[in-house]
Amino acid sequence: MSHAISPLALPFPAMPPVAGVALRVARARYKTWDRCDLTFVTLAPGTAVAGVLTQSRCPSPEVEWCRRALVLGQARALVVNAGNSNAFTGDRGRQAVEAIAARTAAHAGCQPSDVFVASTGVIGVPLPIDRAEAGLDAAFVATPCDWQAAAETIGTTDTYPKGATTTAIVDGRPVTLVGIIKGSGMIAPDMATMLGFIFTDASVDPAFLQGMLTAANTRTFSCITVDGDTSTSDTVLAFATGAAGNATLVDDDSTGADAFRAALTDLCHQLARLVVRDGEGASKLIEIAVTGADNDRSAHRIAMSIANSPLVKTAIAGEDANWGRIVMAVGKAGEPAERDRLSIRFGATQVAEAGLAVAGYDEAPVAAHLKGSEIEIGVDLGLGEGSATVWTCDLTHGYISINADYRS
């Protein structure tokens, strides 16, 4: 956490423990830094797991490991490495993941396939197995820590630790959901979060948990973007320990399924926005709501075209109501759009309607809105019922400074 704290940062919330989950952190020294960089989480026997993973065609061996392990739907431990993503490291990378899983399984008394592994950091440098093992050994005997310590330990270029929590009543019992997440660049469509971990004491069937997480992802993590770049390591895992003792949620008809789904979606939404708030160099959080599109998918693509446009993002950074750049971004999305039906607003102020500037358009309220730290852009295409909302941040000198000298 070497850069100045994002001006959009939120304080770390009070987060309750989750029965069946124990957190520990240690120093594996993956980089020459004086901080914990290995997170070790144990999970009660019977814990269900679901996950969404990067769509990258060049994923890290950790992602491939998790993809296979998810098929079984059971988890007993999670290991997260920060400082080295272990991506693009060939056989040595695979060996590192296998070594971590084996050692953790031996310690926890479970199968290696019950162990989930995620790593984040520089690409192309094999994760040093000796350091991982020494870090694990230290973590195994460490005193359990709180959510904030774990959230800090999974971070890399993040400028603040990110966590969120919510609750639901399921089958008459209160259940807790918490999540921690890291990521501030390489955040993009089709699986946004670099690394996010959700824990609940609810009892949920793995397949049902997977369905709910996938659906929530579509409306949250897949709707955020910082720079349009997609990590080789993007991972969101959700663990349900079952310690709350509710009758296991198995499908939509289970008692409390709706409440749990809503809580899970809300949690994902909170976590996703926390990542955008730490977008590299961000000074403004931008919400882009597209309506009136041919369909939801088309609306999403148009919203992402706006959200990823460097010209739109620099205009917002400059507090410039340059709505022409939004027209440009709609036009380049390749989706159905008719220039003369297009309407655009900033905040509550309509600036363009039916293909041209609103008569007597007063820029003053728009200028005032753009001076704030949370910007709303609304685009109505006037074609159909499709809609989507996405979140991004502005593009500033800070992004250049962070990324032009990341490795040095």
Residues 221-250 that bind its own copies (CB under 8 A): 227-232
Q: Does the annotation list 280 as a binding residue?
A: yes
Q: Under the criterion CB under 8 A, does residue 399 sit at the interface with its own copies?
A: yes
Q: Under the criterion CB under 8 A, does residue 405 sit at the interface with its own copies?
A: yes
Coil, helix or strand at residue 17: coil
What string marks each residue from 348 to 387 as x (binds its own copies by CB under 8 A) or -? ----x-xxxx------------------------------
User: Smallest distance, Å, CB 166 to its own copies?
Assistant: 31
Q: Under the criterion CB under 8 A, does residue 124 sit at the interface with its own copies?
A: yes
Region near its own copies per CB under 8 A, out of 35-43, 136-144, 291-299, 393-401:
393-401
How big is the site for its own copies, counted in residues (CB under 8 A)?
A: 72
Q: Under the criterion CB under 8 A, does residue 180 sit at the interface with its own copies?
A: no
Catalytic, 193? Answer yes
Q: Closest by alpha carbon to 403, among 213, 184, 205, 211?
A: 184
Residues 313-342 that bind its own copies (CB under 8 A): 314-315, 317-318, 320, 322-325, 327-340, 342
Residues 181-210 that bind its own copies (CB under 8 A): 185-186, 188
Coil, helix or strand at residue 79: strand
Rounded to whole angstroms, the Cα distance separating 373 from 361 reads: 23
Contacts of 193 (CB under 8 A, 6+ apart): 181, 183, 187, 221, 224, 234, 235, 236, 271, 272, 275
Q: Does the annotation list 98 as a binding residue?
A: no
User: Smallest distance, Å, CB 206 to its own copies?
Assistant: 27
Residues 257-316 that bind its own copies (CB under 8 A): 308-311, 314-315
Residues 125-154 that bind its own copies (CB under 8 A): 125-126
Q: Under the criterion CB under 8 A, does residue 90 sit at the interface with its own copies?
A: yes
Region near its own copies per CB under 8 A, out of 86-94, 127-135, 173-181, 211-219:
86-94
User: Smallest distance, Å, CB 371 to its own copies?
Assistant: 14
Query: What strand order describes the sheet that includes 21-26?
Result: 21-26, 38-43, 77-84, 115-122
Dihedral (CA of 1, 392, 403, 321) sign = negative
Residues 54-83 that bind its own copies (CB under 8 A): 54-59
Contacts of 69 (CB under 8 A, 6+ apart): 49, 75, 113, 114, 115, 116
The tally of CA atoms less than 13 A away on the side-chain side of residue 40 is 27
Rounded to whole angstroms, the Cα distance separating 42 from 104 reads: 10
User: Smallest distance, Å, CB 164 to its own copies?
Assistant: 26
The CA distances from residue 77 to 45, 89, 177, 181, 321, in Å, are 10, 24, 18, 17, 49
The CA distances from residue 281 to 32, 329, 343, in Å, are 24, 22, 30
Set 193, 235, 241, 392: catalytic member: 193
Rounded to whole angstroms, the Cα distance separating 241 from 255 reads: 18
Rounded to whole angstroms, the Cα distance separating 212 from 264 reads: 8
Q: Which is nearer to its own copies, 211 or 336 (CB)?
A: 336
User: Smallest distance, Å, CB 301 to its own copies?
Assistant: 12
Annotated binding site: 156, 182, 193, 280, 403, 408
Tell me which residues are annotated as active site: 193
Annotated binding site for substrate: 156, 182, 193, 280, 403, 408
